[in-house]
Amino acid sequence: MIRAAIFGALVACLAAAPALALSCRAPDVVRSYLDADASDDFYTVVLGRITAGTPISSDFAPRPGTRIAARLRGRVLGPDGFARPFARSIQVQIGCAGAWCGNLPPQDRDVLVFLRHENGDRVLEVGPCPQWLFQNPDAAQVARVADCHTGGACDTDG
């Protein structure tokens, strides 16, 4: 009888607990730029398209720390904005927060990415909250990060 009462109390407590949810801050290209600039790591900002180095099946389930070889072609951010061509292999590192994981960026759309330099590699960290990957960036996002990099305004969206 006491076990049943304890079990019932435990079930009631668990049922009353709030459901856990991932809460991400709204991504902002200038905030990401400022975070990368303030980091001890070195970053390269690229506007382009990513192609996975190996075909990924539709049932791909990322795990924390998974690294996937990919190729990125586009334009790198420099003193003249996104003017210089960029084409090289990168590593896409999947990050997770609890049960929520990042995933590979789409291969058929433009992306604006912040690549962390690591032992000669360029690494795109993709977690559940997209700080280093912006899919389908609009002209305003591209202009804002280029302006910030070239000495213009570095205002964030919030």
Domains and CATH numbers, the chain: 26-149 (2.40.50)
Query: How far apart (Å, rounded) are the C-alpha atoms in residues 17 and 3?
Result: 21
DSSP summary character for residue 74: E
**Is this model's pTM higher than 0.85 or not?**
no
The overall average pLDDT reported for the chain is: 84
Shortest CA distance to 145 belongs to which of 156, 131, 130, 135? Answer: 156
What are the pLDDT digits (tens) for 66-79? 888 999 999 999 99
The continuous run of DSSP H or E covering 97 comes out as strand 96-97
pLDDT for the residue numbered 17: 39
In terms of DSSP H, where are the helices of 46-138? none
CB 124 within 8 A of CB 132: yes
Handedness of CA 59, 65, 69, 73 (dihedral sign): positive
Shortest CA distance to 123 belongs to which of 89, 147, 98, 151? Answer: 89
What are the pLDDT digits (tens) for 118-150? 999 999 999 989 899 999 999 999 999 999 999
CB 45 within 8 A of CB 132: no
The helix, strand and coil proportions of the chain, stated in percent and rounded to the nearest 5, come to 25, 35, 40
